[in-house]
Amino acid sequence: MIIACYNIKGGVGKTAATVNLAYLAAYEGARTLVWDLDPQGAASFYFRIKPKVKKGGKGLLTNKKTLNDVIKGTDYQYLDLVPADFSYRHLDLQLDDFKNPDMQIRKLLKPLKTEYDYIFLDCPPGVSLISENILNAADRVIVPTIPTTLSLRTLDQICDFCDKIGVARSKILAFFSMADNRKKLHKQMIENPPVNVRLLKTCIPYASDIELMGIHRQPVAVFAKNSKAGQAYQMLWNEIMSL
Amino acid sequence: MKSPQNTIFTLGQETDVASLFELLRRTYPAHDASETQLERHYLDSFDWRLYRNNRVCGWDMPGGNGRKKGAGVFFIRDRSTHDSICEYPASRIPRFSKDITHRACRRLLDEILGIRALMTVATIAVKSRHFNILNREKKTVAVLRAENHTLTGRVDPIFLTGRLIVSPIRGYRKIFTQVRQYIAEQLQLPVAQVSLLDELLTAMGRVPDPGIPVYAGKFDSSLNTREAVRILLRHLFQVMQANEPGLRDAIDTEFLHDYRVAVRRTRSLLSQIRDIFPAQQLEYFKHELFWLGQVSGPMRDLDVYLLKFDAYRQALPEAMQKHIVPFHAFLERHWKIEHARLCRAFDSKRYQKLIKEWRVLLDNDNASAQRAGSQPAVSPETANAGKPVRQIAGSRILKLYRRILREGEAITPESHDGDLHELRKTCKKFRYLIEFFHGFYPENNVRNLLKILKQLQDMLGDFQDLCVQTAQLCGFAEQMQQEGSADAKTIMAMGVLVEKLNARKAVVRTELEHRFQTFAQPDNKAAFMNTFSLHNQPESRTVR
């Protein structure tokens, strides 16, 4: 199953969700791969893997290298990573050179679908050809959403974008991320969730343990399994699995 | 996810792991984790299916202070390389592959185990110490694990050879090669030649054989009939004996199945190869073996229902599926009663007498594997005893084949279900004889003909099962009503199930006609006759 973590907005907890959910999947014994598609390479950083892919994104698209060639094992059993590369910033332009430019990522992932039970895509923010590729390739698109007006507006934009490119809305699973129960607005938004998209019950709290991932360079469950954030990610994963 | 190829070194008794890691640390930056203790249960089926497929399956339970509920790990590894194939957290040992929650693990074990249960074959205490080689980012690029193993559960624990397992991390092959080379050349540790499980089994004095004696199926062509039959009966008796403990302990359904097959084959052999034992003696055994078949039948029937229960449930409309659940409870309850009844039968004087006398008969004249013609078969009731087995068996096989054709051709759409059952029984007898004496015939021919026969038998078996099940299900529904264990919805669901089975039965009955026609088509007939014809038997086919 390919699970993309996507949002048009940046800084909503996409990478944290990808890294933590992928870790939990692998912990349960599922063969799991994360593809860090964001040229910022945050997921690669969390896994302590150099954000470098030989021949870059273009090499993958032109079959000079396959994804299989560039996979790196993480510190965790059954969890592998395709690292980010700074060249991914040009991926949009490179994709445009191909016939069926919106299906290239799906094509690259196809050989790995039997090798892995779960493939997580950590997507860069924005609306682009990469987003289109990701939405087409994924079986599920999880959308971390901060409970604010602007974030909910973005969620609408994602739904519209899906309609426009012919991707089923049913793929989209939104969840509240960075929810701060001290903020009245957050509480109100959570109490009155949007109805035009499937919203998961689990909220990922705004928690320092998630920020500490950058210090530890580890998923939350490794250094703070029983923390609020650690438990929230576990609940989120259980909820996704139960669908 | 491609499995890495581990390298396993053995650690001498005098090797100090701490010093070894200290030496490594001088060359490679590393994280040395503290020692962990665990209890490892090695698992396999009764007939060592995992071992024979080069797999090691087990369940690790953290020991010492770290022990907590749900912290166990179930694993499947490659027996030779120790590479992990599947691993997932499990709070207890799964009994069957269907109990495994991990999809890939379940699929893998299902292919190997089928419906056989996992049993603990050995338990060891493991002291393990990890040593992760890190790069500049402090990322693990190779993993070393030193393990010490002690065979537990004995008065004097046995210490097995310690091992140093070096595992590569995908994408960091170079460092793995360097470390491996360093250990081999600088530390001069030898690569392990024998897998840990093999070493463990040797220490325990256990041989991973299939548990059930395997029948080679080949005789010296000059052997007389009585001796050949005696060899076969002895083998079948061993199969019965080997399955009895597992049957009593209710480990899995295969023990009873194999036991019953051995009884059925024994009865078939006694009835098909005639005039080799005194009639009076034979009558007693035939009667008692029939009793054994009868006394073990109800439990087998219930086993079949329980094995098929999921399929039954899925055959029902979704809204009805939950109503059938009380039927499962009924089956389980009655299964326990029948199991206890069978165990009592095994403990009975009648059974003990049968076993004792059967053994006497089989061991009698054990000393000489007599040659054909040398046996003075004086009495007419043992007239065939001294004749060459090849001749007697061959003639019987041909007779049975002709009987199958006769019975099959006589079946019309109006024929009674019982006629099909008779045909099925004849096919079984025919099959058993071929399997007993296949060594006298060309191997490839026999294999191909058995395939054709099996296709017919499978369909006849399905039909008979459907006949029995539809009748029994009605009986069970009545019984459940009387016991008060089923409400109207359950009875209705069972009624729907009977309808479905009846519909299936009608389809199978139609298909059977076509299947028999295939079996009896001229080229198949010619192949059967040609293979089993007495004239075509090689004069002195020397067999094992």
Flag whether residue B447 sits within 8 Å of chain A, measured between CB atoms: no
- To test the contact with chain B by mutation, choose from A78, A217, A242 the residue with the greatest count of B C-beta atoms within 10 A, namely A78
From the list B116, B146, B144, the residue with the least C-alpha distance to B132 is: B144
pLDDT per position in chain B (544 positions), as tens? 554 588 999 998 788 888 888 888 888 888 877 788 999 999 999 989 999 999 999 999 987 544 444 578 899 999 888 788 888 888 889 999 998 888 888 999 999 999 999 999 999 999 999 999 999 999 999 999 999 999 887 777 888 889 999 999 999 999 999 999 999 998 889 998 888 899 999 988 888 876 666 666 677 777 888 888 999 999 999 999 999 999 999 999 999 999 999 999 999 999 998 888 888 888 999 999 999 999 999 999 999 999 999 999 999 999 999 999 999 999 999 999 999 999 999 999 999 999 999 999 888 754 444 444 444 445 777 778 888 888 888 899 999 999 999 999 999 888 899 999 999 999 999 999 999 998 888 888 899 999 999 999 999 999 999 999 999 999 999 999 998 888 999 999 999 999 999 999 999 999 998 999 999 999 999 999 888 876 555 444 433 3
Task: Please indicate whether, in this complex, the C-beta atoms of A117 and B103 are within 8 angstroms of each other.
Answer: yes
pLDDT at B1: 53
Q: Does A70 touch chain B (CB under 8 A)?
A: yes
User: Do A71 and B170 count as a contact with CB atoms less than 8 A apart?
Assistant: yes
- The CA distance from B408 to B397, in Å, is 16
Q: Kindly state whether A49 is in contact with chain B, defined as any CB-CB distance less than 8 angstroms.
A: yes
Beta bridge partners of B18: none
Residue-range domains of chain B with CATH: 7-204 (2.40.320.10), 225-536 (1.40.20.10)
Angle at B79 between CA B76 and CA B84, to 5 degrees: 40
B169 touches chain A (CB under 8 A): yes
Residue with tokens 């026609």: B517
Q: Backbone phi, then psi, for B185, in 5-degree steps?
A: -90, -45
The 3-state secondary structure of B508-529 reads HHHHHHHHHHHHCCHHHHHHHH
Which residue out of A28, A31, A54, A75 would a mutagenesis test of the B interface target, given it has the greatest number of B Cβ atoms within 10 Å? A75
Do B139 and A73 make contact, defined as CB atoms within 8 angstroms? no
Place of tokens 């076969």: B232
| Residue B72, pLDDT score | 85
As a whole number of angstroms, the distance between CA B176 and CA B165 comes to 12
Main-chain phi, psi angles of A101, to 5 degrees = -65, -20
Cα gap B240→B244, rounded to integer Å = 6
* Strand, coil or helix: B5: coil
- CA-CA distance, B312 to B498, in Å (whole number)? 10
Q: Let me know if B44 is exposed, middle or buried by CB neighbors in 10 A (0-12, 13-18, 19+).
A: buried
pLDDT in tens, B41-91: 999 999 899 999 999 999 999 875 444 445 788 999 998 887 888 888 888
Torsion over CA: A126, A131, A134, A140 (sign) = positive
Helix (H, G, I), strand (E, B) or coil at B166: strand
Q: What mean pLDDT comes out for the span A109-134?
A: 93
Which pLDDT score is estimated for B212? 60
CA of residue B315 relative to chain centroid, distance: 27
3-state secondary structure A60-114: HHCCCCCHHHHCEECCCCCEEEECCCHHHHHHHHHHHCCCCHHHHHHHHHHHHCC
Which residue in B87, B171, B172 is closest to A77 by CB distance?
B87
**Residue A243 identity:** L
Q: Does B12 touch chain A (CB under 8 A)?
A: no
**Per-chain mean pLDDT for chain A:** 93
Chain A residues inside the 8 Å CB shell of B171: 70-73
Which DSSP letter does residue B155 get? S
Chain A residue closest in CA terms to B31: A75
In this prediction, residue B265 carries a pLDDT of 95
Residue pair B213/B29 in contact by the 8 Å Cβ criterion = no
pLDDT of A220: 96
Residue with tokens 């166990």: B72
Lookup result for tokens 């109207």: B488
Q: Are A42 and A51 in contact (CB under 8 A)?
A: no
The four Cα atoms B126, B129, B135, B136 give a dihedral, to 10 degrees, of: 150
What structural domains and CATH numbers belong to chain A? 2-242 (3.40.50.300)
Query: Cα(B370)–Cα(B368) distance, rounded to whole angstroms?
Result: 5
Q: State whether A75 and B140 contact (CB < 8 Å).
A: yes
> Coil, strand, or helix at residue B311?
helix
A208 touches chain B (CB under 8 A): no
B145: three-class secondary structure by DSSP: strand
User: Tens digits of per-residue pLDDT, A147-172?
Assistant: 999 898 999 999 999 999 999 999 99
Confidence (pLDDT) at B40: 93
DSSP chain A: -EEEE--SSSSSSHHHHHHHHHHHHHHTT--EEEEE--TT-HHHHHTT--S--TTHHHHHHTTSS-HHHH-EE-SSTTEEEE---GGGGGHHHHHHTSSSGGGHHHHHHGGGTTT-SEEEEEPPSSSSHHHHHHHHH-SEEEEEE-SSHHHHHHHHHHHHHHHHHT--GGGEEEEE-SB-TT-HHHHHHHHS--SSS-B-S---B--HHHHTHHHHTS-HHHH-TTSHHHHHHHHHHHHHHH-
Give the whole-angstrom CA distance, residue B266 versus residue B232: 8
Report CA torsion sign: B229, B232, B238, B241: negative
- In b/e form, how buried is each residue of B105-138, taking b as 16+ CB within 10 angstroms? bbebbeebbeebbbbebbbbbbbbbbbbbbbeee
Q: Do A49 and B86 touch (CB under 8 A)?
A: no
CB contact under 8 A, A78 and B172: no
The C-alpha angle with vertex A43 and arms to A39 and A46, in degrees rounded to 5, equals 130
Chain A residues within an 8 Å CB radius of B104:
29-31, 117
Token pair belonging to B299:
């439990």
B182 close contact with A: CB closer than 8 A: no
- Quick one: angle between helices B417-437 and B253-272, nearest 10? 90
CB-CB contact of B28 with B166 (8 Å): no
Contact (CB<8Å) A48/B139: yes
- Helical H segments across B152-252, by residue range: 173-185, 196-204, 225-248
> Residues 120..159 of A with a Cβ closer than 8 Å to B: which?
none
The dihedrals phi and psi of B42, each to the nearest 5 degrees, come to -85, 135
Would the CA dihedral through B281, B286, B287, B293 be positive or negative?
Answer: positive
Question: What is the rounded CA–CA span in Å between residue B528 and residue A180?
Answer: 81
Q: Are B238 and B266 in contact (CB under 8 A)?
A: no
Q: Rg of chain A over CA atoms, in angstroms? A: 17
For residue B159, the model assigns a pLDDT of 87
**What span, in angstroms and rounded, lies between the C-alpha atoms of B1 and B15?**
34
Q: Map B72-136 to HEC letters.
A: CEEEEEECCCCCEEEEEECCCCCCCHHHCCCHHHHHHHHHHHCCCCCEEEEEEEEEEEEEEEECC
Inter-chain residue contact B87 with A29, CB threshold 8 Å: yes
From chain A, the residues in CB contact with B105 under 8 A are 29
- pLDDT given for residue B542 in this prediction: 36
Task: Find how far residue B178's CA is from the centre of its chain.
Answer: 44
Q: Which of B411, B464, B459, B454 is nearest to B430 (CA)?
A: B454
Query: Residue B84 is which amino acid?
Result: S
Query: Whole-angstrom Cα distance, residue B493 to residue B486?
Result: 10
Assign B220 to helix, strand or coil. coil
